[in-house]
């Protein structure tokens, strides 16, 4: 499922035991860093993966916040297909 509004993701995740959410840094900037906590509350066992462009130095704080909250991983663009597949391969 691909959605653009965090409220749609949060609604979908409520009550789920498993899931993978890819969130880009631009979304975190647009909706605020508090969205990270909301995802973790909606689905504590979901894997949250942040996607950032390493050319943007200002995203370091976003990455730090994501790690502190318990994101599973952060992928820095440009990334290879195998990196994404590694994030989802063993998850059930």
Across residues 31-40, what is the average pLDDT?
86
Tell me the CB-side half-sphere exposure of residue 66, using CA atoms within 13 A.
25
Q: Which domain holds residue 69?
A: 14-78
Res 63 pLDDT > 70: yes
| 18 in a structural domain | yes
The per-residue pLDDT for 91 is: 59
In a domain, 84, yes or no: no
User: CA 42 to CA 61: how far, in whole Å?
Assistant: 23
> ω before 67 within 30° of 0 (cis)?
no
Domain count, the chain: 1
In this structure, is residue 85 part of a structural domain?
no
How far from each other are the two terminal CA atoms of the chain, in whole angstroms?
16
pTM over 0.85: no
| CATH value at residue 54 | 3.40.50.2300
- Confidence band of 90 (pLDDT split at 50, 70, 90): low
- pLDDT(92) > 70: no
Ramachandran region, residue 51 (left: φ > 0; alpha: ψ -120 to 50; beta: rest): beta
Query: How many CB atoms lie under 10 A from the CB of residue 13?
Result: 19
Q: Residue 37: which of 75, 11, 68 has the closest Cα?
A: 68
């Amino acid at each position: 499922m691909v959605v653009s509004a965090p409220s749609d993701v949060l609604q979908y995740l409520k009550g789920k035991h498993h899931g993978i959410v890819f969130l880009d840094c631009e979304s975190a900037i647009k909706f605020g860093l508090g969205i990270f906590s909301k995802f973790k509350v909606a689905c504590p066992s979901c894997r949250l993966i942040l996607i950032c462009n390493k050319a943007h130095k200002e995203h370091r704080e976003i990455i730090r916040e994501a790690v502190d909250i318990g994101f599973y991983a952060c992928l820095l663009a440009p990334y290879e297909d195998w990196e994404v597949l590694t994030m989802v391969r063993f998850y059930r």
